[in-house]
Structure 1
Amino acid sequence: MQRTLVLLKPDCVQRRLIGDVLSRFEAKGLHIVAMKLLQVTPELSKQHYAEHVEKPFYPSLEEFITSAPVVAIALEGLEVIRVVRDMLGATNGLQAAPGTLRGDYSSSRQMNLVHASDSEESAQRELDLYFNADEFCDYSLVLTPFMRADDE
């Protein structure tokens, strides 16, 4: 089973959309295996967005991501990285399709509610930044047999 990191960004937390976003992931059948509310520090921001630190937009990105708490979530599921990114929609909320999280709730490129890992490598790196190994919960959902076939 694949895992990914999802961050509900400060705009999501401040707009009180945590429950709405979580319910969409749960309704899709994705499995929450770790979750916590935390304040991103400038140091953590630099680690998370290492590939952007030297770019001109990074200072405003750091200011935004450290401005209020985020909710870090580890989701598990079949093709969860692709599934979550499809659910989010285009990065720019103004360009995101209706029915996607950003299409329904965002009208900004930067304040786009949610971050999600874009590959297995970034998912592992990002999960390691936000969670210790003992913070993951391994449990079975009783509804799993009703969400997908045994051979999937």
Structure 2
Amino acid sequence: MTDPRDHHSPSPGLSPMRCGLRGCCPRCGRGRLFDGYLTLAPRCAVCGLDFSFADPADGPAFFVMSIVSFPVVGFAGWLEVAMEPPLWVHALTTLPLLLIGCLGLLRPLKGWIVCAQHIHKAAEARLADRPPEARTDPTA
């Protein structure tokens, strides 16, 4: 029997993408993952899953910048070459595209990464967890 507070207890067939995009708990699928726009809740209010295991770090920001910047910079380049507009036109078109794209994708992507960490039991690697025969002597 698994402890319901254990973050490695099996998920009921929930997809990390589906849970993350909806911002719901990766274990029960009903609780809220976020307290604010990007702040993770301390735990699920429904099943009690402790979200302290989650560490998405800069992953969501990196992926969002990569996904959004290429089409927006392409649009800005096309606009400059095709129309040669003044700088304020770029400020009115390109800047809102960047902001809306980044802010729109950041929360779902962070939720997806946190849910994937739980569902796939991701954890920080530790040298001490490896069996003795897998360790190598650095002086040899």
So what's the TM-score if we normalise by structure 2? 0.27
Flag the structure with higher strand content.
Answer: 1
Bigger CA radius of gyration: 2
So what's the TM-score if we normalise by structure 1? 0.25
